[in-house]
Amino acid sequence: MKIEQIYTGCLAQGAYYIQSKGEAAIIDPLREVTPYIARAERDGVNIKYVFETHFHADFVSGHLTLSQKTGAPIVYGPNANPNFDAHIAKDGELFKLGDITIKVLHTPGHTMESTTYLVLDSSGKEHAIFTGDTLFLGDVGRPDLAQKSEDMTMEDLAGHSFDSLRNKIMPLPDEVIVYPAHGAGSACGKNMMKETVDTLGNQKKMNYALRAEMTKEEFIKEVTADLLPPPAYFPLNVKLNKEGYEDIDSVLSKGLNPLSPETFELEANRSSAVILDVRTPAEFAKGHIPNSIFIGLDGSFAPWVGELLVDIKYPILLIVSPGREEEAVTRLSRVGFDNTLGYLEGSFAAWEKSGKEIAEVNSVPSRQLENDYSEFQARIFDVRKNSEHVSEHIEGSKNIPLSSINDHLAELPKKENFYIHCAGGYRSMIAASVLKSRGIHNIIDVQGGFKAIKETSVPITDYVCPTTL
């Protein structure tokens, strides 16, 4: 038996390749399926099953394409009702894979079709569980993503999650290996560990949601507390995963369309496309096409695209470093953004050479903020998450999280310059691009973000809980 976790950091997502005696299974594949097929061919095995733990909200799975290319059936757990052919397994159903067995454990809670797959080795011993979003390391799947047709509250789902964990997962031996669908950085949970594999025994010790003495009421209260609103694109991805989507090869064929600066400009005006610049923060600051949005490939690219662009049907035109065009189109497709119309041939250098209008971001070293702090104390905006700001922040700074920046434009100075920063410079450059596209240009971005600021004398404070007198 061979189990391989195929982890994609941008999405904080784990897909799995399981192989035994000439047969393989893939669990929760990404949309681009060629690597799974190539891996099976390299091992000289046939892909026998494509298992899905649930209808994913944060990415478009590759189940349909992989099934079409290999002939392997798609397997879901109970309560799934996809609009395509799939095997809807019964709770406890067994699937033979070489000399091992994969057992279906229906574990509703994150969603009602959520299913955990238990691997039994050749002797029938419990070896590993593939928990999808039912159980993460350090957390459990958020219970507020129910489809409207389910007509359930997040408290209802949290209750199901409690029962699933206590009745199906926690009774398993401590040495069972836990393979979750996501790790730290995913919006599908709130308290995930940075590790991506662990034993169930350790999770019983470390995971707040698996406390043995925990009551159902306590579980529901803790699991539903402090949940950030889910990204707006989540329901659209669920719809694609449930109803079907365009083949990735077609998406790539359409998106890998090189455009001269003149054609690029004409296409942008004709289609009202979003001009998406995916280079580095430093490159974008130095020069970019006016009104373009920056979301760099070298960061949490796909989640921020989904968070900020929202509508997966938006036409997109790309500014991308030469050689990374296919990567950009592929990573957009992972979250359902299939309408890439092409990319600027020769990247931004070609635009600059053509003599067309360019814009810049005033991005400065942290030492300049140190010099300006007394003057700008009331005009420093932190675009990190609220929890990050509460933990530690510049004294006097205001928190406007990037995810909700469009809702707080009125709070920003109209004429006076103001500073923005994030943790390391990635999110603040995204914020700068969004603000500039809204006509706000009096921005000063801090290079290196809060990490660099902490190396200066700028006063830092943390949250102080007010006392009751």
Q: What is the pLDDT of residues 277-317, one digit of tens each?
A: 999 999 999 999 999 999 999 998 988 998 899 788 999 99
- CB neighbours of 88 closer than 8 A, spacing ≥ 6? 76, 77, 78, 80, 81
Query: What's the N-to-C CA distance of the chain in angstroms?
Result: 64
Domains of the chain: 2-236 (3.60.15.10), 246-353 (3.40.250.10), 363-461 (3.40.250.10)
Per-residue model confidence (pLDDT) at position 387: 87
Q: Which two tokens stand for residue 76?
A: 């879901």
In 377-425, alpha helices (H): 386-391
Buried b (16+ CB within 10 A) or exposed e, 337-375: bbbbbbbbbbbbebbbeeeeeeeebebbebbbbeebbee
User: Where residue 137 falls among pLDDT bands split at 50, 70, 90?
Assistant: very high
84-119: pLDDT as tens digits: 999 999 999 999 999 999 999 999 999 999 999 999
Q: Among 54, 50, 9, 10, which residue's Cα sits nearest to residue 237?
A: 54
Q: Is the whole model's pTM more than 0.95, yes or no?
A: no
What residues form DSSP beta bridges with 445? 363, 420
CA–CA dist 430, 308 (Å, integer)? 10
CA–CA dist 221, 312 (Å, integer)? 33
User: Where residue 467 falls among pLDDT bands split at 50, 70, 90?
Assistant: very low
Q: Mean pLDDT throughout 51-80?
A: 97
Backbone angles phi, psi at 74, to 5 degrees: -90, 130
Return the beta strands (E) in 232-338 as ranges: 258-259, 274-277, 293-294, 316-319
User: Where residue 465 falls among pLDDT bands split at 50, 70, 90?
Assistant: very low
Q: Among 115, 71, 68, which residue's Cα sits nearest to residue 90?
A: 115
352-402: pLDDT as tens digits: 999 999 999 999 999 999 999 999 999 999 999 998 999 999 999 999 999
Q: Mean pLDDT throughout 220-242?
A: 91
